[in-house]
Structures are given as C-alpha cells and as structure tokens.
Amino acid sequence: MARPLCNFCLFALNTCICSAVTSINNKVKVIILQHPSEEKVTKNTAKLLNLCLADCQIIKGESNNDFAQLRALPASSTVLLYPNEQAINLDNNDALNTLLPITHLIVIDGTWKKAYKILQLSSLLQRFQTVSFANLPKNRYTIRKAPRADSLSTLEAVAHSLQLIEQLNPAPLYNLLDELIQKQTHHMPAHVKARYL
C-alpha cells in the first residue's frame, strides 16, 4: 500500500519538509529539464526548487520533441548550466558581465550520463550559451553518491548560479536541502546511514 503523501511537498508524511520551505522571489526564470527517471526518485532535489522559487518550471523529457517550449526562449539572454569547454564561468565577474542580462537559466536534472544524453538528443540546447563554475561550492548533498568530483545536486547548482547571477541569498535553499537530508537519514538503518554520513 502506498504511503500517504503531504499534499504540498508531496513527500511521505513522515519525511514532510514543509516546515523548511521558504518562498523566494527569483528574477531569473529557472527551467529544469528533468530526465523521466528522476521524477520518482525520493531524494531528487528539483522538486525542492519548485517548492521555493517563484519562477521555476520543470519539463520532463529527453529530446527536442519534449522540450519544444525552449524555442520561445530568448537566445541572447538564456543560458544552459553545463560544464563543457565553451562554458563561461559564472564566478568570473568579467566573463559574467559579458552575459548580462540573463533572464532564463536552463538546468538538466539527471545523472551525468542522462544529462549528456539529453544534451545530445536536444539540438535546441545548442542555441544557448553554456555556463559553469571555476570553483565549486562544497557539496552538501551527502545522501546521494556521484561518480564525479564536480557533482552538485540540481538544487545546489541552481542556488549557486542564482547567487552569482542575481546575488540571491542561497541560505533558504540550502536549509531546505539540509531538512531533506535530516528527514531522509532519520529513517535509514544505521548500516545504510554509515555509507553516506
């Protein structure tokens, strides 16, 4: 039998995170391209962003057919967060100034393999300048293992991006992530918890 869910945050009632949700009025619209396999992952952080950010949209899919809405975005002021050789580092003020104003931030939500697949299948993304970071913030998302040293959760990547682009205070987003980690690990058996913390 399915566990009852909170009507607002959609987590199970015993892991409800509503007490840590804070409304944030972001100026840059965040568009999350979510691989379908991520939708039901309990520890997925894209839905946390959707709970907090006033201007955030999640689009599920893998290819151009799924992401047709991207055609309407302004190419000159929309950026794609993806660390490739062409990426401009948001933490380089001189480079950032060449991009401003940024009105839309596209983020791919999925494992590195799935994110790369979305990038390959979605030629629409080639319209947009890629951005990344020269220096990553400390990874706080301890309950999900990643194979790469430069791995951040979707929430952490967006929080850091918005801090650099529009000086948005990331603390409410990080607090929500901490609440998720606390609630998820509270119910883990000790031997499972030891793998992460």
Lowest model confidence (mean pLDDT) among 61-70, 76-85, 181-190: 181-190
Is the pLDDT assigned to residue 144 strictly greater than 60? no
Sign of CA pseudo-dihedral 86, 156, 101, 119:
positive
| Average pLDDT taken over every residue of the chain | 88
Is the pLDDT assigned to residue 192 strictly greater than 60? no
In sequence order, what DSSP letters do the residues of 43-63 get, joined into one string? Answer: T-SHHHHHHHBSSEEEEE-SS
Q: Which of 59, 49, 48 is nearest to 28 (CA)?
A: 49
Edge-to-edge strand list for the sheet holding 78-81? 56-60, 29-34, 104-109, 78-81, 129-132, 88-89
pLDDT digits (tens, 9 = 90+) for 68-96: 999 999 999 999 999 999 999 999 999 99
Place 29 in a pLDDT band, splitting at 50, 70 and 90: very high
Taking the CA of residue 130 as centre, how many other CA atoms within 13 Å lie in the half-sphere pointing to its CB? 13
Average pLDDT over residues 138-164: 77
Is the pLDDT assigned to residue 148 strictly greater than 60? no
pLDDT of residue 3: 75
Average pLDDT over residues 134-155: 70
Place 177 in a pLDDT band, splitting at 50, 70 and 90: very high
pLDDT of residue 11: 85
Alpha helices (H) along the chain:
46-52, 93-99, 112-121, 154-166, 171-186, 190-196
Place 67 in a pLDDT band, splitting at 50, 70 and 90: very high
Show the CA angle centred on residue 52, arms to residues 147 and 124, nearest 5°: 60
For residues 35 and 32, give the distance between their C-alpha atoms in angstroms, rounded to a whole number.
9
What percent of the chain shows pLDDT beyond 70? 87
DSSP 123: G
pLDDT of residue 191: 52
Domains and CATH numbers, the chain: 24-192 (3.40.1280)
For residues 145 and 188, give the distance between their C-alpha atoms in angstroms, rounded to a whole number.
15
Residue recorded with tokens 């804070």: 22
Lowest model confidence (mean pLDDT) among 95-99, 115-119, 123-127, 186-190: 186-190
Dihedral pair phi/psi, residue 117, rounded to 5°: -60, -45
Omega cis (within 30) before 101: yes
pLDDT of residue 179: 92
Report yes or no: 107 and 136 within 8 Å, Cβ to Cβ.
no
Q: Which of 74, 187, 69 is nearest to 128 (CA)?
A: 74
Place 14 in a pLDDT band, splitting at 50, 70 and 90: confident
pLDDT of residue 149: 53
Q: Is 73 helix (H, G, I), strand (E, B) or coil?
A: coil
